[in-house]
Amino acid sequence: MRNTNNIILETAVKVLLFFIALYSVYIFTAGHYYPGGGFIGGLMTAGAIVLLLITYDIKTVVGILPVNFRILTAIGLLFAIGTSAGSLIFDAPFLTHAFGDVHLPILGDLSLHTATLFDLGVYFVVVGVTMTIIQTIGEDE
Amino acid sequence: MLEIIIRLALLICSISMLGLIYRVIKGPSVADRVIALDAIGVNLIAITALTSVVLNSHAFLEIILLIGILAFIGTVAFAKYLEKGVIIERERNH
């Protein structure tokens, strides 16, 4: 194959990657009242890492993100099961979530939910599973 | 008046998507199919925006950005496949 020089893509991705990652965090936190949540946020993060994999190569991306995505999946499942089983301690049905209004110094009045922690678990599972699938497909030639 | 124009625009976008789907299936070369798929993504964005105007809601505005990013990643992957024959390289050779 020709030895091509994709300088435009490499320069553009260096800027675009942060916007996509920021947008995935936004759509994850917006997920309680608006469209979004852990699943689509995780897919966006996986999309950002896939863009990095397309632009550079597997060796560079492993150097940038030394994360074992199988362990990330396990951590996510632990989060999801742990937060949903935590309601059993308070004698409530499985998957019951609690919320409360909290006043923080700078951020003001916030409504904090334990469902966000469950969603964080979903986020980790989606990122881990998607990246495991894509890396497994990409590695065999 | 605006209502009629927006519904007409939705109809035109749908018809142009049908033409693009014909090009994806029929397209003589792979490059034709890739460009048609990219244009389907753009049409999808237009239809989502017009739908959110018709329904008078701002719930779809995040989805527009989402479709844009996913269509961009898909087009980049196809372009790299056409150029280099491989999407994810093990190690760059330069």
pLDDT score of A89 more than 70: yes
- Determine, yes or no, domain membership for A2: no
Query: Residue B86: its chain A contacts at CB < 8 A?
Result: 1, 141
- Determine, yes or no, domain membership for A132: yes
pLDDT bin (cut points 50, 70, 90) of residue A140 is low
Q: What is the mean pLDDT of residues A50-67?
A: 88
pLDDT bin (cut points 50, 70, 90) of residue B41 is very high
What is the pLDDT at residue A88?
87
- Determine, yes or no, domain membership for A1: no
Total domain count, chain A: 1
- Return d(Cα B55, Cα B61) in angstroms, integer: 12
The residue range of the domain holding A98 is 7-139
Rounded (5°) CA angle A22-B68-A2: 95
- Determine, yes or no, domain membership for A108: yes
3-state SS class at A53? helix
pLDDT score of A65 more than 80: yes
pLDDT score of B14 more than 90: yes
ipTM of the complex: 0.80
In B, what residues contact A, Cβ < 8 A?
59-60, 62-63, 65-66, 69-70, 73, 76-77, 80, 83-94
pLDDT bin (cut points 50, 70, 90) of residue A127 is very high
Residues 6+ apart with CB under 8 A from B23: B32, B33, B36
More confidently predicted of B22 and A136: B22
Q: Kindly report the pTM of this predicted structure.
A: 0.84
- Determine, yes or no, domain membership for A57: yes
- Determine, yes or no, domain membership for A125: yes
- Determine, yes or no, domain membership for A124: yes
Average pLDDT of chain A, as a whole number:
86
pLDDT over 90 percentage in chain A? 37
Domain boundaries, chain B: 2-84
- Return d(Cα A43, Cα A49) in angstroms, integer: 10
CB-based contact B66 A30, cutoff 8 Å: no
Report CA torsion sign: B52, B56, B60, B64. Answer: positive
| Residues A38 and A28: beta-carbon distance below 8 Å | yes
| Residues B19 and B53: beta-carbon distance below 8 Å | no
CB-based contact A57 B65, cutoff 8 Å: no
pLDDT bin (cut points 50, 70, 90) of residue B67 is very high
Amino acid letter, residue B56: N
Q: What is the mean pLDDT of residues A124-129?
A: 94
What is the pLDDT at residue B22?
95
